[in-house]
Amino acid sequence: MSHNKKESIEKGKLFQLQKGRWVSEAPFGYKAIRRDIYERGIPKLIDIVIDEKTSGIVEDIFNLYSTENYSRKELINIIKDKYDISNLGLGTLHYILKNKFYIGIMVYKGKEYPHNYKTFISKEIFEKCEYVSFANYNKLKKRPHTSSIICKSQLHRLEMGRWIANFPYGYKFIPQKRTSKFNQEGKVEIDPVKSNIVKTIFSEFSKGSISLKLLKNKLVEIFPNEKFNRSSLHRVLSNKFYIGIMTARGKEYPHIYPTFVTPEEFERVQEILANNRKHKLHIPSVTKKESIDISSQEQEVLSLLKHPYDIEGLSLQCKFSLKELMQLLSSLEQKRIILKNSHNEYYQVDQ
């Protein structure tokens, strides 16, 4: 179709709208009456009238929803049971509740035009339903993001002392027969080889006379088949799992698995890590006199980055949703307070 034809059709539609006539299919609750005069193979529309069969459904939808006693899903089930219809879904319900045609207004390409057809929904009921929709939307917005919540099954496992993710370095999981389609139990044991490496990491670093870089080089000499970096060493040295404590979403739970690091040695290592870190956080300045402000939420994320963490590890340690955490990390990166290494782990800029 040429540009001129499209333009003339659009002008024709605008002319009809200004005259109070609808230019598309009749909304649910109405029916179109057509004449046997055809335009482009379609019978010419002469009027839109209230459909006695479906208008009652629309009236019930508005009247019930305006009471604030029903959610949209509950409302759909009520309407389906009453009228024995199966093709009513959330999308259709949303379209009906927001359609101003029922109160005498046509909306076309974002503009409103009054129409000449009969209406059967009062303006008060329509506005009440708009208010209910807005209130329900705000309730949904205030709900915490699902990724920031531990589901009931995971919480139950944690309270029973069972871990919900991959086991730390030094442990091995031996799967057993599935107890159901979605659950696989197994036995968790201390890996004799890797646990020995973890013990060496703790014993060497707890002496307080070796840096992580030197420790990494020493481990490569002792265990040439294992690969280490500062990030992985930080994770091992700060992981409370080795002394019987699991951390998930910022909360701690005792676990039922065997341990092989003493609490005294672990505390000694934490003291060394804390002393090695600068007590005062350096914030890169824009000028010599001006410094960048960081929010309390960003400060909370920074407190977790005493050593490098990937996004998965951080999400388990903090209370923020994954989306919120990504936004905070992006903000801190832009301020050049943190950076990301080749292992996709975030760490504080050491200046």
The yes-or-no verdict on residue 345 having pLDDT over 70 is: yes
Topology of the domain covering 14-142 = Hect, E3 ligase catalytic domain fold (3.90.1750)
Which tokens sit at 216?
A: 């990494």
Instruction: Identify the CATH number of the domain defined by range 280-351.
Output: 1.10.10.10
pLDDT tier for residue 321 given thresholds of 50, 70 and 90: confident
The arithmetic mean of pLDDT across residues 69-93, rounded, is: 84
- Relative to beta strand 309-310, strand 345-348 is antiparallel
96-128, pLDDT tens digit by residue?
998 999 999 999 888 899 998 999 999 899 988
> Which residue did the predictor score with more confidence, 283 or 12?
12
CA geometry: angle at 42 spanning 39 and 114, to 5°?
Answer: 85
- Model pLDDT for residues 5-30, shown as the tens digit of each residue: 778 888 888 888 888 888 888 898 99
Burial of 249 per CB tally in 10 Å (0-12, 13-18, 19+): middle
Q: What pLDDT shows up at residue 192?
A: 92
Mean pLDDT (the chain, rounded): 81
What pTM was computed for the model?
0.42
C-alpha distances out from residue 53 to 57, 64, 83, 217, Å? 8, 18, 10, 81
* pLDDT over threshold 60, residue 1: no
CA 351/CA 343 separation, integer angstroms = 21
Q: Tell me which of 10-14, 110-114, 283-287, 299-303 is least confident.
A: 283-287
Question: Is residue 48 scored above 80 in pLDDT?
Answer: yes
Domain locations in the chain? 14-142, 144-276, 280-351
**Which of residues 87 and 172 earns the better pLDDT score?**
172
Q: Give the mean pLDDT of 179-190.
A: 65
53 phi, psi to nearest 5 deg:
-75, -40
CATH 3.30.70.260 applies to domain 144-276:
no
Q: Which residues contact 280 (CB under 8 A, 6 or more apart)?
A: none
Fold agreement between 144-276 and 280-351: no
Cβ 69 vs Cβ 94: under 8 Å = no
